[in-house]
Structure 1
Amino acid sequence: MRINGKKIIRYILGVCCLAFLIGSGFFLASRSGHLKNESTVSKSISRQTRKAHSQKISLVGLGDSLTFGQQDPTNRGGYVYLIKQKLQKNYDVKVTTHNYGKTGDRTDQIQARLENDPAMQKQVSEADVITMTFGGNDLMQVLQNNFQLLFNNKLSSIMPQREKQYQQKVESLMQTVRHYNPAVPIFVISVYNPFYVYFPTVTALQKYTDQWVELTKKMVTAQPRVYFVNVNQRLSQGQYLGKNQTELKKQSKMNLENLSSQEIEQTLNDHHEKNVYLSSNDHFHPDLKGYRYMTDQLYKVMMAHRTTWLNSETTKR
């Protein structure tokens, strides 16, 4: 039998080419799958690495009932809890909070607690961020002790001296905090007038609240790495902020000094004069809506100064 050499060679070459193509296809498919697996594993490792290297932030809240979270219906600690959740939701961070708010504390009482509580001192010294609320009980003390002067429009005769005393207390408190932690950013949240919506014609209440807020702002922002969070207008005026308040004042049952305690309570419970940012239980402290507003304002100021507490390599979620 005659053998055609050229045909055999072409046949062998054809088989080899086919085998090569099939083999190449299998290799590429396998390689592709292998690369996909590598990619999946790589992403998984990356996520685990990010989680393991998330920035850890210790946030310490110092202050009065607003830091404590009085009237927070969730009983989780008001804005201190909420700011933790907001930061962890938006950034690759692990936030630990320590809440040292105490209902009823004046500025000097907050300082005394810090000076006499070693555990509190330790947490403040190790904090990456400090938030503070103070001044509200100081102002309430002045108003309560001089109620008659307030409604006779003579409170101006004593306010300069009371403001000077308050200023000294704030300076002393801030010095004490800085003694334990000289460098970290401090965010101070303002007071507000909880009675405005209920008694809008008592303009002296808002006048002296505004002065107290401005005095606090002036004192704290004069210090390095201390930032002011102003919640006064919204929490004072509630849903009436930016609206015509003539009708609100017409509806008011003032004159307050002529009302009995029962009539005052009825006014506070009047749905038409209710401040939706404050608790209906005591008409004084924020409700959940109010604490969320405080948290949003705090977050904005923290973001404006994030280089003081957030690592540059920390990523957004």
Structure 2
Amino acid sequence: MLIYVAVGDSLTVGVGAWPGSGLVPQYRALASKAANAYVESINFGKAGATTGDILRLVKSSPRLRFMLVRADIITLTAGGNDLIRAAKQFARKPDPHVFPEALRECREHYAEIVNTIRTLKASHGNRYIIRAADLYNPYPKVPEAALWVQRFNRHIDSLQCGNFKMALVYGQFLGREPEMLSADGLHPNKQGYRTIAEQMNRLGYRPLL
């Protein structure tokens, strides 16, 4: 049996899709097939969570920290709500500093989330993998949002090392938003989550398997 701990925002929760068709259950099924073993998933997703919210949870939740230590597979989705907040703020008042400031804060939080998980795992020595996804852009008609997403994705890419890998989602959604997003235009639908899960699955499971 493998233990899979999912950490993150609305995408980890599965907002936008019917129960059982979100990211976590779809990726769990793919991981189970790849490992030829039962995978138990524990979902710590929180709808609306920013990178700051997720960082606080990773640092202060005893239950989450206990499960992260035990986890064989960890997935992380974060950053989307930071973008949404910045976009809404920019829509109210088009300040050119809104997106750069949000990006700086988001990148700092994201790196600290990953480093906190790595530190927890290092003290216990078990093999594990962390799988993240880069961001798609739910605001394709807003140039500032597109630039924000691309810069944030480059930051996630720079953190890839060893057992931390990033699934490439941005290009899969670009130009296909109507078929990938739910009715709210922000969260993936079943197909969108399937695409993210498949991209994570394509990264493989080394050094775990």
TM class by shorter-chain length?
Answer: 0.7 to 0.9
Contact 1:139-1:212 within 8 A present in 2 as well: no
Separation in 2, partners of 1:224, 1:211: 22
The CA deviation at 1:166 is 2.2
The CA deviation at 1:144 is 2.1
Separation in 1, partners of 2:20, 2:44: 13
Corresponding position of 2:111 = 171
Corresponding position of 2:201 = 299
Contact 2:100-2:148 within 8 A present in 1 as well: no
Contact 1:195-1:236 within 8 A present in 2 as well: no
State yes or no: 1:95 paired with 2:39: yes
Question: Which residue, 119, 138, 143 being the options, matches 1:203?
Answer: 143
Separation in 2, partners of 1:236, 1:194: 9
Aligned pair count reads 205
Contact 1:71-1:285 within 8 A present in 2 as well: yes
Question: Structure 1, residues 2-32: CA drift from partner, whole Å, max 9, x if none?
Answer: xxxxxxxxxxxxxxxxxxxxxxxxxxxxxxx
Separation in 2, partners of 1:129, 1:143: 32
Pairwise CA RMSD of aligned residues? 2.1
Contact 1:77-1:99 within 8 A present in 2 as well: no
Percentage of pairs with the same residue: 23
Question: Structure 1, residues 66-88: CA drift from partner, whole Å, max 9, x if none?
Answer: 01111222x12612111121233
Matches within 5 A, 1:268-307: 275-280=178-183, 282-301=184-203, 303=204, 306-307=205-206
Corresponding position of 1:225 = 163
Separation in 2, partners of 1:291, 1:161: 29
Question: Structure 1, residues 167-223: CA drift from partner, whole Å, max 9, x if none?
Answer: 221222122222322362211111111132xxx4x33332222222222222x21x4
Contact 1:135-1:191 within 8 A present in 2 as well: yes
Structure 1 stretches of 4+ with a deviation exceeding 3 A read 157-162
Which structure shows the bigger proportion of residues in helix conformation? 1
Corresponding position of 2:48 = 104
- Residues 169 and 87 (structure 1 numbering): CA distance in 2 closer, same or farther, change over 3 Å? closer
Contact 2:52-2:106 within 8 A present in 1 as well: no
Code of the residue aligned with 1:176 in structure 2: it is T
State yes or no: 1:235 paired with 2:173: yes
TM-score w.r.t. the length of structure 2 is 0.87
Contact 2:21-2:190 within 8 A present in 1 as well: no
TM-score w.r.t. the length of structure 1 is 0.59
Larger radius of gyration: 1
- Residues 77 and 109 (structure 1 numbering): CA distance in 2 closer, same or farther, change over 3 Å? farther
Q: Which runs of 5+ in 1 are unaligned?
A: 1-55, 240-274, 311-317
Q: Which runs of 5+ in 2 are unaligned?
A: none
Corresponding position of 2:59 = 115
Q: Secondary structure at the match of 1:227?
A: strand
Q: Secondary structure at the match of 1:59?
A: strand
The CA deviation at 1:163 is 2.8
The CA deviation at 1:133 is 0.4
Corresponding position of 2:4 = 59
- Residues 131 and 149 (structure 1 numbering): CA distance in 2 closer, same or farther, change over 3 Å? same
